[in-house]
Amino acid sequence: MDISVTHIEAGNSEYQGQFESLFREYLSGFSMAFDPAVIEQLFALSYFHGFMSFIDDKPAGFAVCFESFSTYRMQRVMNIHDFMVANRCRGKGVGKAQLHAIEQYCRDNQYLKITLEVADENVAAKKLYRSCQYEDYRVVLKGQQHWQKYLNHRNKALI
State the sign of the Cα–Cα–Cα–Cα dihedral 74, 140, 98, 34.
negative
Quote the CA–CA distance of 100 and 57 in Å, as a whole number. Answer: 18
Residue 49: predicted pLDDT? 96
Quote the CA–CA distance of 120 and 128 in Å, as a whole number. Answer: 14
Residue 149: predicted pLDDT? 67
For 75-93, what is the mean pLDDT?
96
- Answer with the residue of higher pLDDT: 150 or 21: 21
% of the chain with per-residue pLDDT over 70: 91
- pTM across the whole model: 0.88
Q: Whole-number mean pLDDT of the chain?
A: 90
Nearest to 116 by CA among 16, 31, 9, 103: 103
For 86-112, what is the mean pLDDT?
96
| Chain segment 12-50, per-residue pLDDT in tens | 888 999 999 999 999 998 888 889 899 999 999 999 999
Q: 3-158 sits in which CATH class? A: alpha beta
Nearest to 100 by CA among 142, 127, 128, 71: 128
Residue 32: predicted pLDDT? 82
Sequence spans of domains, the chain:
3-158
